[in-house]
C-alpha cells in the first residue's frame, strides 16, 4: 500500500507546472535530474523563504520551492541558496552578466508577475501603488502607467505594468498586494509566457539583426498586392 501511495505522489509531482524554484534553477526537467534533495539551499536562505516539498504538496518530495504570498525571495546579493547547491541544480553561472565574474541576483528568472486587471484596484481607478513601491527593481520590472479614465472623464488611471525583460519573479509584489487574494501573482516562465515562432523578427532589437543576416536569400517579403495602395485594395474588395 505504501508503495502505491508513494507512486501516486511521484506521478502528481511530475505534472506540477506551477512550482517556483530558487534563483539560478535550471529548467524544471534538468533541475529535477540534478537536485539531490539535500536541503542545503533551504538551510542557507537567510529569510527562510525556501521550503522542501513534503508528501502531499504535489511536488517532487525533498525539492526546494517558495510561495511568494507567504514569503517571497528577498533577492539577497550573496545568493546564499545557489552558492550552497553542491550539484549545479542551482547554477550561479546563469546569473553572471556578460563580461563579469560575479553573479547578479537581478538576472534571476524564477518566474514572471502577472496582474489580474479585474481585481487590481488600481485598474478600478483607485489609488494603490503598493506592489510598485515594494518592487526591488522599481521602474524597471514594475512601472506605473498613466492613462485616461474614460468611465469618469475626470480621474486618471495610474496602474502597475510588468516588464518581462526585468521581472525576476521574486514575488515581493504578490506578498504585499493588499487585495484579499493577491491580484498580482508569480507564475513560472513556461506558464506565464507565450512562445513566438523564430521566423518573426523584432526589428528594434539588435540581437534580432543576426536572424536577418542568416535568413535565406529567397525569403519572400513582397507579393503582387504589395504594389497596390491600401485604397486600391479596399476598392477591389467591393
Q: Is residue 134 part of a domain?
A: yes
Of 96, 46, 40, the residue nearest 73 (C-alpha): 46
Place 36 in a pLDDT band, splitting at 50, 70 and 90.
Answer: very high
Global pTM reads 0.77
Which among 81, 107, 133 is the end of a domain?
A: 107
> What is the spatial distance between Cα 235 and Cα 115, in angstroms, rounded to a whole number?
43
Higher per-residue pLDDT: 195 or 27: 27
* Tally of structural domains, the chain: 2
Q: Classify residue 229: in a domain, yes or no.
A: no
- Domain C-terminal end among 88, 107, 126: 107
Of 118, 120, 88, nearest to 22 by C-alpha is 88
User: Tens digits of per-residue pLDDT, 51-87?
Assistant: 999 998 889 999 999 999 999 999 999 999 999 999 9
From 159, 174, 192, the end of a domain falls on 192
* CATH code assigned at 158: 3.30.70.20
| Paired sense of beta strands 157-162 and 51-52, if any | unpaired
Structural domain of residue 143, as residue ranges? 111-192
Q: What is the pLDDT of residues 79-120, one digit of tens each?
A: 999 999 999 999 999 999 998 999 999 999 999 999 999 999
One domain for residues 91 and 3: yes
Amino acid at each position: 500500500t505504501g508503495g502505491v501511495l508513494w507512486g501516486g505522489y511521484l506521478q502528481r509531482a511530475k505534472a506540477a507546472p506551477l512550482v517556483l524554484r530558487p534563483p539560478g534553477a535550471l529548467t524544471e526537467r534538468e533541475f529535477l535530474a540534478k537536485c539531490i534533495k539535500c536541503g542545503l539551499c533551504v538551510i542557507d536562505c537567510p529569510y527562510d523563504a525556501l521550503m522542501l516539498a513534503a508528501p502531499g504538496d504535489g511536488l517532487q518530495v525533498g525539492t526546494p520551492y517558495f510561495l511568494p504570498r507567504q514569503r517571497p525571495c528577498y533577492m539577497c546579493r550573496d545568493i546564499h541558496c545557489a552558492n550552497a547547491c553542491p550539484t549545479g541544480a542551482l547554477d550561479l553561472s546563469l546569473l553572471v552578466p556578460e563580461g563579469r565574474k560575479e553573479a547578479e541576483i537581478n538576472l534571476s528568472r524564477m518566474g514572471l508577475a502577472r496582474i489580474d486587471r479585474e481585481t487590481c484596484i488600481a485598474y478600478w481607478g483607485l489609488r494603490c501603488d503598493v506592489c510598485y513601491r515594494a518592487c526591488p527593481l522599481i521602474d524597471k520590472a514594475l512601472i506605473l502607467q498613466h492613462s485616461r479614465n474614460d468611465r469618469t472623464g475626470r480621474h486618471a488611471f495610474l496602474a502597475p505594468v510588468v516588464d518581462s525583460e526585468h521581472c525576476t519573479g521574486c514575488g515581493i509584489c504578490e506578498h504585499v498586494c493588499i487585495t484579499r487574494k493577491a491580484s498580482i501573482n508569480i507564475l513560472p516562465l513556461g506558464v506565464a509566457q507565450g512562445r513566438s515562432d523564430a521566423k518573426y523578427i523584432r526589428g528594434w532589437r539588435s540581437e534580432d539583426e543576426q536572424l536577418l543576416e542568416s535568413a535565406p536569400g529567397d525569403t519572400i517579403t513582397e507579393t503582387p498586392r504589395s504594389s497596390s495602395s491600401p485604397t486600391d485594395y479596399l476598392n477591389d474588395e467591393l
